Amino acid sequence: MSQANTPTEESDEQQGSGPKRPVDTVKIGNVEIAIWRNHGANGGFLTASAPSIRYKDEKSGEWKESISYGVLDLLALAEAAREASLKIRDLSKSRVQGR
């Protein structure tokens, strides 16, 4: 199952209230992909971050991030990438329609 943050109309950077945060996040299993709003010469656009995996270190009990994937993580990676692509398309459509 996927989990996602609720997108905001304006990023924190645009509001000037602190560090830039993703517009949305796709999470499938342990694989997470953040979606970012960017600005270029031709206007705004959305991109996805490199996928990361979060896991709990058995020895320290701390949560860590990695970019190495096991067999099951690769399936989650493929699904997360597909869902991130769909989310970017939906967010782009709603942004164009809102103008």
Total domains, the chain: 1
CA atoms within 13 A on the CB side of 16: 0
Domain assignment of residue 74, given as a range: 2-97
For the chain, what percent of residues have pLDDT higher than 70?
A: 77
Instruction: Report the alpha-carbon distance of residue 63 to residue 23 in Å, rounded.
Output: 23
Query: What pLDDT sits at residue 10?
Result: 44
Report, as an integer, the average pLDDT of 1-25.
60
| 11/37: higher pLDDT | 37
Q: What is the pLDDT of residues 63-89, one digit of tens each?
A: 999 888 889 899 999 999 999 999 999
Do the beta carbons of residue 41 and residue 16 sit within 8 Å?
no
Query: What pLDDT sits at residue 99?
Result: 58
Query: What pLDDT sits at residue 9?
Result: 41
Consecutive H or E run containing 54? strand 52-56
Across the chain, what does the average pLDDT equal?
A: 83
Could you tell me the pTM of the whole model?
Answer: 0.72
